Structure 1
């Protein structure tokens, strides 16, 4: 995870720095107030004006026991959002209606089974959904600016729906159930530089002709035979 944050520091802006990995993420979680609506179906996340001014572009809601995506209101400048180590089972477009400027979204270690259509997050550049319960790659077609996609530790059996990610540079699919790499599985990924396929069940590698920029390929702990 630290590696991803360091990478993001280089693509976010040369003069701006996102979360300090050691401190800001932990401290930030204490500045957000969570309140359930009267119906008990929605949790609303709010911050005071002073807290927003201190960190206007980032919110950390790690380890808050969330079972549903919070309704984050009054955060027009929010660009970085972390929801690690919660109990989220699904995400939907409506969750992001007021978060259209997000460039970094971290959903690591939840219970998400399906990725929704992220078309509203057209500015997203880093999406981390490792250690969830996703079985199929889908709903990513509109993320043409995405540069980092982490789907490690899920239940994915086949590579799909990546062909529109023309800006993608780092793809992590380690620890899934992928059995084969087809000729056109990485079609469209012309910017891809790093691909992690460790700890899968891969037996066949039929080619990487669609990834001319690939520099790093990790394939250990598979079933590949010579």
Structure 2
């Protein structure tokens, strides 16, 4: 089993090069970037001497567990995509972490990120899930990321509902392509809570086949610049917003006419009650009589 340890770093040609007056221990203390991608690594050992580590590249390996990173309080970037990780864990001490790449693993539930208050980017695309399974995002984790997260990638994870993502009001880039999103109304509601959204990719979802799909999203997402890889022209957005406003105004006008219509369509009945002409002597005027009253139809001439 290949394990990432201090000894492995010492043997790496890409890292330690002995300099005059600099010991290996001193080198480890100054190390900020560690490149060990595509090395068939299965486990992370004790790296606590690398106390100033800020960027760690471990993608394209065979790692099954996130462990032994509690020392890396200065870590800002962690690249662990395309491994065999099944659970997000042991990251609570990485409170300066800004970018986390976990795409292409075997994660079923997104959790364990509650203490990462500075996390700006979270990449979770293409998890290798069991048939019929979908990626779930823990509501408490989402709430803890609400004030910091700007980029979220959840492409290709069988997701059919994103209502829990409503709390992520600082999102600027959102990718949820190749999922199973189908409700236009759900998307409109969620995106109306994201005032800073600039880029979005929803390609490959069933909802993309809905009538006026693109137009409706452009009117909801006021700051959106790119949708499914296509730039949004500001002139086109303004036209759609004006058209929607005109349509809603016309609908309100029609509703007002419907509310006041029935009574005004019978002028003779209106005059009887408004002008003050009394009913025929002996006739009992009641609400029921008014509802039953109908204009008399002209007699048809007999053939």
TM more than 0.5: yes
User: Using the alignment, how far apart are the partners of 1:172 and 1:35 within structure 2?
Assistant: 29
**Alignment match, 2:142:** 140
**Alignment match, 1:216:** 226
Unaligned runs of 5+ in 1: 1-23, 37-42, 221-226
**Alignment match, 1:88:** 85
Q: CA RMSD for the aligned pairs?
A: 2.9
- Does the CA-based 8 Å contact 2:60-2:83 persist in structure 1? yes
**Alignment match, 1:121:** 116
**Is 1:176 the counterpart of 2:173 in the alignment?**
no
Corresponding residue SS for 1:162: helix
**Is 1:98 the counterpart of 2:100 in the alignment?**
no
- For normalisation by structure 2, the TM-score amounts to 0.53
Unaligned runs of 5+ in 2: 1-31, 231-303
User: Using the alignment, how far apart are the partners of 2:45 and 2:193 within structure 1?
Assistant: 39
Larger Rg: 2
The superposition leaves residues 40-69 of structure 1 with CA deviations (integer Å, 9 ceiling, x where unpaired) of xxx5451644xx55xx31111112311122
Higher helix share: 2
The superposition leaves residues 121-142 of structure 1 with CA deviations (integer Å, 9 ceiling, x where unpaired) of 1100011111114433443222
Paired residue for 1:110, among 87, 105, 108? 105
Higher relative contact order (CA 8 A, sep 6+): 1
**Is 1:28 the counterpart of 2:35 in the alignment?**
yes
**Is 1:65 the counterpart of 2:75 in the alignment?**
no
- Does the CA-based 8 Å contact 2:92-2:113 persist in structure 1? no
Number of equivalenced pairs: 182
**Is 1:189 the counterpart of 2:194 in the alignment?**
yes
- For normalisation by structure 1, the TM-score amounts to 0.70
**Alignment match, 1:162:** 165
User: Using the alignment, how far apart are the partners of 2:70 and 2:136 within structure 1?
Assistant: 30
> After alignment, is 168-177 or 59-68 more displaced?
59-68
